[in-house]
Amino acid sequence: MSVRKLRDAVVLMTAFVALIWILQVFNWADGYRLDAEFGILPHNLGHLPDIFTAPFLHISWQHIEGNTVPLFVLGVLAAYRGVRKFLLVSLIVAVTSGLAVWLFQSSELTVGASGLIFGYFGYVVVRGFFDKNLLDIGIGAVAGILYWTILQVAIPGTPGVSWIGHLGGLFGGVVAAWVLRERSTAVGAGAHGWTTGFGRPLRGGHSDNGSGAGNRAVPEHPGSRAASDLLRELEDKGF
**DSSP one-letter string for 112-135:** -SHHHHHHHHHHHHHHHHHHTBHH
Determine if the pTM surpasses 0.85: no
pLDDT value for 194: 78
Distance CA 51, CA 33 (A): 17
pLDDT value for 151: 75
Q: Comparing C-alpha atoms, which of 162, 72, 157 is closest to residue 112?
A: 162
In the chain, the N- to C-terminal Cα span, in Å, equals 19
pLDDT value for 211: 44
Which residues lie across from 40 on neighbouring strands? 110
8 Å CB contact between 165 and 110: yes
- CATH number for the 3-179 domain, one of 1.20.1090.10, 1.25.40.10, 1.20.1540.10, 1.20.1250.20? 1.20.1540.10
pLDDT value for 39: 97
125-159: buried (b, 16+ CB within 10 Å) or exposed (e) per residue? Answer: bbbbebbbbeebbebbeebeeebeebeeebeeeee
pLDDT value for 213: 46
CATH 1.20.1540.10 domain locations along the chain: 3-179
pLDDT value for 136: 92
How many CA atoms lie less than 13 Å away from 190 in the CB half-sphere?
16
Question: Which residues does the chain have with pLDDT short of 70?
Answer: 1, 153-160, 184-193, 196-239
Distance CA 38, CA 170 (A): 22
pLDDT value for 227: 59
Cα angle 180-181-182, degrees, rounded to a multiple of 5:
120
- Runs of H (alpha helix) within the chain: 3-29, 33-38, 61-79, 83-104, 114-131, 134-147, 163-179, 222-236
